[in-house]
Structure 1
Amino acid sequence: MLDTLAALPFWQAFLALFASAMVRSNGTYWVGRGAVAGWRRYRGAHGDLTARAERLIHRFGPFAVTLSYLTVGIQTAIHLTAGVVRMPLRWYLPAAVVGSVIWAVLYATIGLAVVQAWLAAEAGSWWGVLVVVVVAAAVVAWLVARRRRARTPSSERFVPVD
């Protein structure tokens, strides 16, 4: 399916990705609106993730929804939390549209280019292999740095120089 999507003209790939992002995020939002009792059980099993999502929703409001499209791992929790806390649709929908547009543009350009590079790597192209290795190394480096920062207490992160 991804190679079919990559073969489409940009505007068609964009529309397909935009539609999928809107359906997924709005579906998650509406599940959250209707599942407050189930949320308590989910929250018990995923306490850290849901607490983080709630903090982001309360702190940034609709901007958390928009920015969630740029994240991996907390996006669904943010949309579910927006539904649970009953974020008004007049705030949620515009944030979801903007976030879906951003996500669709990123995946219709960079994301599909990575998929095409992966396919080229599978076909034996050295350029494709190089792109896949560089992207994988960048993701791993980012994750390692993020994890190290999370483990370091905030008091140790900044050491003033005398």
Structure 2
Amino acid sequence: MSMIEGLPFPVAFGILFVIVMLRANATYWLGRGAETGAERTRLAKMLASPKFRRAQDVVARWGAPIVTVSFLTVGVQTLINLAAGVARMPLRRYLPAVTLGSIIWALLYATVGFVTLAAWLKLYALSPIATIAGTALLLAALAGFIWWQLRHRSAARGTATVSR
């Protein structure tokens, strides 16, 4: 990423777009071919995971728009593209959705992503200890929020199960 950082915006955007298009489409095609031979691979475990099942449900319900929106997330876009491949989403729907998502992703990384990294590096140069402590605090807050969400969600499921 550091070699892309100093490039003019159109070049950086173009490189990032190509990278994400290749990765997303490779994941889609992996999903298209996965069901036939997945029982004997490590991929079978991922295809049977609850996260992947939820991604499949989301793709089945929302279709191509969810492929585009998934590029605004971290970690979910891979599962969504894989689920779209496993579901054999038609290319006439998948390609426009993945292209738009890739444009959005490249635009975000070429602008906000690099600005955030540059700001973090500048802060680190001024005060490494404060920057690391601040980053650790933000990560701890994020982890706490995720933990709270998961706990709240499982408590809600437990209540729903009990009331049946």
TM-score range (shorter-chain normalised) is: 0.7 to 0.9
- CA-CA distance at 1:18 after TM superposition: 0.8
In the alignment, residue 80 of structure 2 is paired with which amino acid? I
Range with greater deviation from structure 2 (23-32 or 138-147)? 138-147
In the alignment, residue 36 of structure 2 is paired with which amino acid? A
Number of positions where the alignment pairs a residue of Structure 1 with one of Structure 2: 154
Of 75, 86, 89, 1:87 maps to 89
Q: How many Å separate the matches in 1 of 2:108 and 2:144?
A: 21
Flag the structure with higher helix content. 2
User: For each residue in 1:77-128, what CA deviation from the matched residue of structure 2 results, as whole angstroms up to 9, or x when unmatched?
Assistant: 11111111110000000000110011111111111111112222332368x9
Who is 1:27 aligned against? 26
Residues 3 and 116 in structure 1, CA contact (< 8 A), matched pair in contact too = no
TM superposition score normalised by structure 2: 0.77
Q: Write out aligned runs for 1:1-162 (5 A).
A: 2-40=1-39, 42-45=43-46, 46-124=48-126, 129=131, 133=135, 136=139, 139-140=142-143, 143-144=146-147, 146-153=149-156
Relative distance call for 1:85 and 1:108 in structure 2 (3 A) is: same
Relative distance call for 1:102 and 1:152 in structure 2 (3 A) is: farther
Unaligned runs of 5+ in 1: 157-162
Identical aligned pairs, as a percentage? 41
* Residue aligned with 1:153, SS: helix
